[in-house]
Structure 1
Amino acid sequence: MTVHYLSLNGVANHLGISPHTAKKYADEGRLPLHDAEVGDPPRNIRGWLPETIDTWNASRPGRGGRPKKTSS
């Protein structure tokens, strides 16, 4: 069974935020610890399980718990 991880762009799409904001959150250490990492720094790719991002979003201070953006 293949496990699907979200890239930073995937995290942005999942949360309905811009990729720039997702990268900023990651650079500032505001995203949860990634669930997987592929490659070696500095060009490594981090990945998060959707469940990890959902749990983090539901409990983050401030604007946490916002509903995900839906497609119209």
Structure 2
Amino acid sequence: MTIRYLTIAGIANRLGISPTTAKKYADEGRLPEPDAVTGDGPKSVRGWLPETIDVWNAARPGHGGRPKKVPQD
């Protein structure tokens, strides 16, 4: 069975953000560590399992990780 990983473009598509934003998140260390890396140096390609990105996205502030405000009476 082949394991499919998300690239930066795949993450952008999955989250509904631009590839530029996804790359910025990765370069700034805001994404989780990649599940796989192929190649060496600047030409290496990082890959994330869809589940890794889904868990990260659900936990990040403003996307399900921040408790909702309860109206005060």
Superposition TM-score tier, normalisation by shorter sequence: 0.7 to 0.9
Counterpart secondary structure, 2:29: coil
Normalising to structure 2: TM-score of the pair? 0.84
* Matched pairs, number: 64
Query: What is the alpha-carbon root mean square deviation over aligned residues?
Result: 0.7
Higher relative contact order (CA 8 A, sep 6+): 1
Match of 1:30?
Answer: 30
**Residue type at the aligned position of 1:55:** V
Match of 1:68?
Answer: none
Partner Cα separation in structure 2 for residue 46 and residue 30 of structure 1: 14
Moved over 2 A (4+): none
**Alpha-carbon offset, residue 52 of structure 1:** 0.1
Counterpart secondary structure, 1:37: strand
Unaligned 5+ runs, structure 1: 66-72
Identity of aligned residues (%): 69
Does structure 1 residue 8 correspond to structure 2 residue 8?
Answer: yes
Unaligned 5+ runs, structure 2: 65-73
**Residue type at the aligned position of 1:41:** G
**Alpha-carbon offset, residue 23 of structure 1:** 0.4
Normalising to structure 1: TM-score of the pair? 0.85
Partner Cα separation in structure 1 for residue 41 and residue 56 of structure 2: 25
